[in-house]
Structure 1
Amino acid sequence: MPVSHPDPIWVTDNDTLATYCTQWLKLDAIALDTEFIRTDTFYPKPGLIQLGTGQEVFLLDPLKIDNWQPFAQLLGSEQVVKVLHACSEDIEVFHILSGNKPAAIFDTQLAASYAGLGHSLGYQNLLKTLLGVDLPKDATRSDWLQRPLTDIQVSYATLDVVHLLEVYQLLQQRLKPMPHWNWLLEDCSNLSNGDLYPKPEEQWKEVKRAWQLRPRQLCVLKVLAEYREREARRSNVPRNRVIPRGSLWPLARYMPDNIHSLSAIQDMRHSNIRHYGEEVLSLIEMARELPGEQHPKPLPAPLPKAAKEHGQRLKRYTSQKAEELNLPVELLMLGKILTPMLRSRLEYGLFKLPEQLQGWRRTVFAEPMVEQLNQPEQ
């Protein structure tokens, strides 16, 4: 189907935004999308906000609007559904502009997965599948902070929300008669309620091979990983601009005490050392002197080969249940619960569910799974 769209309405001042927000608050649903740049910053730089009502498309200019309070009220309304596609970074942009995260989210990528259209389906493919619309992607990586935007950019941005409410209606029709509908709404609600950024004090646990380090080295790793996260946010620079990810483990392992030895650490560039070298050395010295009671507990080693058989049992059950529920396997077994379950089986002889697994996955899928798998094998 050839692509076409209405001429967008530009919103470029505070009063106009406030007036339209009053109107949009009366709607049942709006389509939203964002364009931004994140090449040399920790936080995305908002370049454009697109809003569709089904009849009209509005382009909100964050370079000219500086009072986003009316938009924050719209985002927070539980009565107006906000329809987005793969919305995690959009939520971040909204929070930066307005201080608010959208309530009543409907994520069409998530809904498409529940509807059996494919897991992590891109918007372009979703439109092709549901509407037969071929959406061009010519402007994806362009400069959204330039003004004026090119005609291609404006067309691309407009098309991103023109069909979104139509997709929402079609997915609703498919899913509402199914139990999947309430599960989808639960997942969409969690998108609004989750943390935007990881906890700085927990970042050391994500470093590869951290389990190999001794307690004093782990103390250095924890201090440096937390500093890296906090400093990247404070300075609004990419994390690797502060300390490259590949440098964290060798810094903790070898604990350099001067600039020369620091420069020998893997991935440490001259720019890292020039801007942050003295602080990194100071933190290493401080962390290595902390008393033993302040050292982190060692992380467990990777799962042994003995876990493979138990992992296969989990995967077989998950595949059978996914087929029974007509859902993608990825929606059932979230990666973050697999390893804790296998560790519990090796340590206690039983599969146990991690506390963080809640909601429909726990009651519909995980609790019956552990009950069955914990029975003595025949």
Structure 2
Amino acid sequence: MTMITTTDQLEQAVAALSQSDFVTVDTEFIRETTFWPELCVIQLASPDHTAIVDALAPGLDLAAFFRLMADEKIVKVFHAARQDIEIIFHLGNLIPHPVFDTQVAAMVCGFGDAIAYDQLVQRIVGAQIDKSSRFTDWRRRPLSEKQLDYALADVTHLRDIYLHLKASLEEDGRTDWVLDEMKILTARETYDMHPDDAWKRLKMRLRKPVELAVLRSVAAWREREARERNVPRGRVIKDDAIYEVAQQQPRDAEAMSRLRTIPKGWERSSMATGLLNAVNLALDLPKEDMPRLPKSVQSPEGAGAAAELLKVLLRLVTEEHGVAAKVVATSDEIDRIAAEGDAEDIPALQGWRREVFGEKALQLINGELCLKFENKKIRAVLWPAE
């Protein structure tokens, strides 16, 4: 297999691939030492054509590839699409559409939570993938035939997997379930996070408004710093340090030097100046402008026990419907249902999830449904008993 290295070759490949109503897509990238992933290889396949693109080739214009990703007539098929879409969004400022994620579809079809690609290949196609090239440095050139074969297998087997899952979804009447998931996966806000919202990705260990204000400000500073310097967030400051800074709220270098999570001498660096500015900016906010803990974290008495019962119910209904629990409701959503009840912004209480799980979950916490252990099995029954 020869890699595509010129713009003309890419244009020709895209023209051939565009004759199909779907194309399978995968990318190989490196991001261990950078904030933004470095795209190295693009793999593409349709029923009749395959292509491997050297994304690092000098002078290569990826416009044709981005045009393919934006073509509304062609379904773009990925497995575990999020990181691939993130790269495409960063480099091309576009979200591929329409998209079909086989990992999500597999969860809806009962293949378990977040099944790996090689396992899906084995179960659906009956083939084994040689994983010896899994940890290839995709920046090195030339790539061997073995490495190219490994990369190509990520999209050739994906064709059969897509057709199998698509047919299964249509047979079971679950195509719309996956389409709902794809709306979230292809939403621009999924990838275009504002730095001021970076704190929401951290585990909520703090409760006081002033602590949350510092957490928000420092997380936003770190996000901007990491993007500008193109380094991982942890290279700027680690999460544990952000939590300690939010709790201790140092206003100057001397106070910062006493923090356990701050390396010795770091408080005299230019980075420390930016961090202190972020802390002081938060501490100087009026109290009414400081964030408050989400309601779901301020759980009422008994919500913890209710959440445990909801988890049992979730397992019960997902086994009954042959769908992975992870795609129906997350742990955070379970906690929110237990604490808040029928809140309109909880995904597990919307669309098909409400039909499968949400209605029963609300009945359970409202005392209208009970879990009954009978003949060594748990059943959900209406209360009072029918």
Q: Do Structure 1 and Structure 2 share a fold, with TM-score over 0.5?
A: yes
Q: 1:34 to 1:353 in 2, by over 3 A?
A: same
Letter in 2 for 1:19: Q
Q: Tell whether 2:213 aligns with 1:219.
A: yes
The 5 A counterparts of 1:1-378 are 8-64=1-57, 66-193=60-187, 195-208=190-203, 210-213=205-208, 215-269=209-263, 273=267, 274-298=269-293, 303=299, 306-344=302-340, 351-357=341-347, 358-371=350-363, 373-376=365-368, 378=384
Distance 1:272 1:116 in 2: 50
Letter in 2 for 1:353: A
Deviation of 1:336 after TM superposition, in Å, equals 3.3
CA contact (8 A) 1:29 1:83 kept: yes
Deviations for 1:275-307, whole angstroms, at most 9, x for unmatched residues? 511111222223222222322224565647722
Q: 1:370 to 1:281 in 2, by over 3 A?
A: same
Distance 2:232 2:96 in 1: 25
User: Structure 2: which 5+ residue stretches go unaligned?
Assistant: 369-382
Deviations for 1:85-132, whole angstroms, at most 9, x for unmatched residues? 111101112223322221121211122222222221111111111122
Q: Residue 240 of structure 1 aligns to a residue in which SS? A: helix
Deviations for 1:340-363, whole angstroms, at most 9, x for unmatched residues? 21222xxxxxx2234142432235
CA contact (8 A) 1:337 1:354 kept: no
CA contact (8 A) 2:250 2:256 kept: yes
CA contact (8 A) 1:207 1:249 kept: no
Q: Which residue of 1 aligns with 2:377?
A: none
CA contact (8 A) 2:113 2:325 kept: no
TM-score in terms of structure 2 length:
0.85
Q: 1:209 to 1:98 in 2, by over 3 A?
A: closer
Letter in 1 for 2:316: Q
Deviation of 1:210 after TM superposition, in Å, equals 4.0
Q: Residue 165 of structure 1 aligns to a residue in which SS? A: helix
Deviation of 1:268 after TM superposition, in Å, equals 2.5
Q: 1:208 to 1:161 in 2, by over 3 A?
A: closer
Distance 1:15 1:298 in 2: 54
Letter in 2 for 1:45: E
User: Structure 1: which 5+ residue stretches go unaligned?
Assistant: 1-7, 345-350
Q: 1:360 to 1:93 in 2, by over 3 A?
A: same
Q: 1:88 to 1:68 in 2, by over 3 A?
A: same
Deviations for 1:307-334, whole angstroms, at most 9, x for unmatched residues? 2331133223323322332212222122
Q: 1:334 to 1:210 in 2, by over 3 A?
A: closer
TM-score in terms of structure 1 length:
0.87
Deviations for 1:182-237, whole angstroms, at most 9, x for unmatched residues? 21232133311251154422333444454343x33332222111111122122211
